[in-house]
């Protein structure tokens, strides 16, 4: 395993914040214990079998196990401050045709634990294009799920120097079905089709956050650009569409517009009718890394539209949050930009919807900025990353016993606004192979109450306030006196025969 004694930041992820804190990866030239190294070509390091294809037959029954004759390990001929390693891979790309390299993975890639992908490449002077294209996918060797592109550098990798190509993957959904890394270099380059080309490759792998703390796991990620550019949608040519960029959710879904696999609803709640969906197919600047930039949802008071997810199973998750890019595009200094807000509502286990609020609104939302001369400007045409924690109606943590949630998004205030890169995530209850079951619901009775609650067969009853402070604890009782508690809301945990049930008490 390589060790370097210099610092080189991941340039492509500088500025990204996760839950309002920096989570940059460590020095990309060092693979530590929590990282996953795919290939470093070092003696005693990781030199995997790299093949030109995956199977010997079309039925995909016999794997290719012979390494490609086009990839060898050589002494690093161009050591520099980016890559000072002793040994690298040397890829002699034959002319003609479409070329891929494949590496079978020997462990699962979890984007929450190792969200930063890196790939070092050095196009050889005189034996490669002036600018190189590099693309990398995770895929299943039998194509049981679609391939996932995890790195794309289109014609911008310079010649005759090492480039550390990186990408943040923390908002993507992990799958244990990904078992192959596919690498393509300059497949679209005309010169590469006519002559042999050469590239040094090195230090391929996935890195953990610098602080060692895993991100939340993606439940779904929506960028409103599921099948790429859909010119017919922008031009209003989709069947029964009402105009450019505007139509109905079923029409947008039918052309593969949603990337998450969620079949959203979009309707006017008051009128209980389908409403107009506004989606723009070209992006906008963002202050967070790896913005998708391909599609965005418009929020406006003009249509009374509310986007709804439908029930989402969260049985194996807790500590839920909905994050997304939020911004305006008024093109002029409109004072309403400062107050622009979406409205987010959630429902737990089929209950009534209630509004939840952004975690840090004074910082995260577009604000009016007053300079030293007293001039006011507004942050227009820029997506900012905003975060909504899923809470109970009173702002307390969402109870563990909740199994399904449904959320709505609609126009809240200010001027027209835009949403992109919607990310719904949570902390898995199954961590490192240890399953921590969610608590069952406890039916607090009577509720509300001013005197007591009944606790049949309880061996232990703990009552805490909404800040988690224990205010009462009793043992082996069928009735708990709560008359001395102050008025307000409390969390009741009841232990019966080794299982814990949780409910909420309203003290009058």
For 303-316, write each residue's pLDDT tens digit: 999 999 999 999 98
Name every residue whose Cβ is closer than 8 Å to that of residue 184 and which is 6 or more positions away in sequence.
98, 99, 100, 101, 134, 135, 136
User: Left if phi > 0, otherwise alpha if psi is -120 to 50, otherwise beta: which for 226?
Assistant: alpha
> Which of 421, 503, 450, 483 minimizes the C-alpha distance to 171?
421
For 193-222, write each residue's pLDDT tens digit: 788 999 999 999 999 988 878 899 999 999
Name every residue whose Cβ is closer than 8 Å to that of residue 326 and which is 6 or more positions away in sequence.
340, 342, 364, 365, 366, 383, 384, 385, 386, 417, 418, 419
Delimit the domains of the chain by residue range.
11-207, 217-430, 440-507
Q: What CA–CA distance (Å, rounded) separates 25 from 54?
A: 31
Q: What CA–CA distance (Å, rounded) separates 29 from 17?
A: 22
> Residue 58 forms beta bridges with which residues?
none
In sign, the C-alpha dihedral spanning 485, 489, 490, 496 is positive
Instruction: Give φ, ψ of 363 to 5 degrees.
Output: -100, -40
Architecture per CATH, domain 11-207, reads as Sandwich (2.60)
For 57-109, write each residue's pLDDT tens digit: 999 999 999 999 999 999 999 998 899 899 999 999 998 878 999 999 999 99
Our measurement of the distance from residue 273's CA atom to the centroid of its chain's CA atoms, rounded to an integer in Å, reads 32
Q: Under a CB-based contact definition with an 8 Å cutoff, are residues 322 and 424 in contact?
A: yes
Q: What is the pTM for the complete model shown?
A: 0.76
Q: Which residue has the higher pLDDT, 34 or 188?
A: 34
Tell me the CATH number for domain 217-430. Answer: 2.60.120
Q: What CA–CA distance (Å, rounded) separates 414 from 378?
A: 13
> Which of 248, 251, 256, 250 minimizes the C-alpha distance to 238?
251
Question: Does position 8 have pLDDT exceeding 70, yes or no?
Answer: no
Q: Under a CB-based contact definition with an 8 Å cutoff, are residues 277 and 298 in contact?
A: no
* Domains 11-207 and 217-430 agree in fold: yes
pLDDT at 467: 63
> How far are the Cα atoms of 133, 146, 328, 354 from residue 119, in angstroms, in the given order?
13, 22, 35, 45
Q: Under a CB-based contact definition with an 8 Å cutoff, are residues 345 and 308 in contact?
A: no
Q: What CA–CA distance (Å, rounded) separates 420 from 298?
A: 9
Selected from 3.30.70, 2.30.30, 2.60.40, 3.40.50, the CATH number assigned to the domain covering 440-507 reads 2.60.40
pLDDT at 377: 86
């Amino acid at each position: 395993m390589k060790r370097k004694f210099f610092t080189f930041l991941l340039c492509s992820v500088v500025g990204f914040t996760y839950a309002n804190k920096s989570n940059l990866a460590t020095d990309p030239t060092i693979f530590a214990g929590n990282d996953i190294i795919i290939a470093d070509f070092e003696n005693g390091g990781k030199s995997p079998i790299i093949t030109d294809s995956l199977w010997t037959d079309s039925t995909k029954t016999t794997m290719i196990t012979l390494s490609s004759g086009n990839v060898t390990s050589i002494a690093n001929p161009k050591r520099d401050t980016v890559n000072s390693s002793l040994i690298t891979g040397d890829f002699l790309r034959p002319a003609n045709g479409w070329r891929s390299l494949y590496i079978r993975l020997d462990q699962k890639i979890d984007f929450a634990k190792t969200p930063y992908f890196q790939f070092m490449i050095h196009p050889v002077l005189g034996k490669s294009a002036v600018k190189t294209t590099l693309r990398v996918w995770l895929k299943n060797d039998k194509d049981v799920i679609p391939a996932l592109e995890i790195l794309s550098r289109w014609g911008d990798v310079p010649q005759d120097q090492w480039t550390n190509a990186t990408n943040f993957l923390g908002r993507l959904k992990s799958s244990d079905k990904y078992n192959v890394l596919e690498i393509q270099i300059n497949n679209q380059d005309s010169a590469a089709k006519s002559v042999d080309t050469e590239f040094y490759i090195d230090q391929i792998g996935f890195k953990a956050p610098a602080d060692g703390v895993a991100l939340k796991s993606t439940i779904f990620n929506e960028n409103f650009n599921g099948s790429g550019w859909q010119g017919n949608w922008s031009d209003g040519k989709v069947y029964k569409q009402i105009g450019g960029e505007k139509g109905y959710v079923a029409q947008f879904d039918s052309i593969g517009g949603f990337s998450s696999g969620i079949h959203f609803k979009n309707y006017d709640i008051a009128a209980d009718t389908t409403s107009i969906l506004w989606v723009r197919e070209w992006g906008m600047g963002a202050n967070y890394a790896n913005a998708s930039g391909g599609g965005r949802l418009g929020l406006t008071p003009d249509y009374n539209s509310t986007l709804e997810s439908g029930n989402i199973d969260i049985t194996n998750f807790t500590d839920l949050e909905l994050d997304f890019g939020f911004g305006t595009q008024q093109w002029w200094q409109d004072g309403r930009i400062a107050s622009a807000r979406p409205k987010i509502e959630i429902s737990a286990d089929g209950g009534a919807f209630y509004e939840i609020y952004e975690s840090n609104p004074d910082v995260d939302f577009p604000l009016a900025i007053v300079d030293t001369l007293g001039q006011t400007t507004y942050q227009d045409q820029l997506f900012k990353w905003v975060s909504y924690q899923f809470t109970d109606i009173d702002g307390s943590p969402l109870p563990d016993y909740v199994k399904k949630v449904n959320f709505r998004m609609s126009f809240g205030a200010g001027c027209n606004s835009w949403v992109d890169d919607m990310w719904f995530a949570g902390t898995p209850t199954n961590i490192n192979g240890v399953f921590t079951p969610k608590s069952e619901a406890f039916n607090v009775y009577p509720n509300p109450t001013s005197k007591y609650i009944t606790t049949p067969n309880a061996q232990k009853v703990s009552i805490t306030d909404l800040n988690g402070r224990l205010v009462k604890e009793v043992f082996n009782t069928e009735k708990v006196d709560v008359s001395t508690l102050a008025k307000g809301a409390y969390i009741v945990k009841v232990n019966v025969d080794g299982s814990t049930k949780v409910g909420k008490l309203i003290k009058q």
